[in-house]
């Protein structure tokens, strides 16, 4: 998870895409559209030309169930003027992400204001 955010934060699409299986599925419900495959994700993350502005991802909490190979990360994401806080659920296959499903809430609040009194 840290390698993905490092890749995004560095503008290195290949570094981030290499964390996914060749046939990975990347979705953000309730949007019915999804992205499939490492090559598609490489392009989505900026490809050879990079994105016009840097992406910023900060993990707030990470958890992983080794038996089921399912984990989650709570995060803050920024791109241009867009900022959101959210949760992503991932399923690994042979150490790579096969499924990525994210839920996010756009917000201009910083993390501390966003979570309010429910800090941990």
Q: Specify whether the CB–CB gap between 50 and 11 falls below 8 A.
A: yes
Q: What pTM was estimated for this model as a whole?
A: 0.93
Per-residue pLDDT at 54: 87
Tell me: the pLDDT tens digits for 31-76?
Answer: 989 999 999 999 999 999 999 998 999 999 999 999 999 999 999 9
- Hey, where are the domains in the chain? 2-115
For residue 56, count other CB atoms closer than 10 A to its CB. Answer: 13
DSSP count for the chain of H helices, then E strands: 4, 6
| CATH fold of the domain at 2-115 | Nuclear Transport Factor 2; Chain: A, (3.10.450)
Q: What percent of the chain has pLDDT over 90?
A: 97
DSSP reduced 3-state for 44: helix
- Report the chain's terminal Cα–Cα distance, integer Å: 20
Measured CA to CA, the distance from residue 78 to residue 82 in angstroms comes to 6
């Amino acid at each position: 998870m840290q390698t993905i955010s490092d890749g995004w934060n560095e503008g290195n699409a290949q570094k981030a895409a290499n964390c996914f299986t060749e046939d990975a599925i990347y979705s953000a419900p309730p949007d019915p559209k999804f992205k499939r495959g490492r090559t598609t994700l490489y392009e989505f993350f900026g490809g050879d030309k990079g994105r016009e502005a840097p992406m910023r991802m900060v993990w707030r909490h990470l958890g992983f169930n080794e038996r089921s190979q399912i984990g989650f990360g709570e995060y803050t994401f920024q791109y241009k003027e867009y900022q959101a806080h959210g949760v992503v659920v991932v399923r690994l296959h042979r150490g790579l992400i096969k499924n990525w499903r994210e839920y996010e809430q756009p917000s201009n609040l910083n993390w501390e204001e966003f979570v309010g009194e429910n800090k941990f």
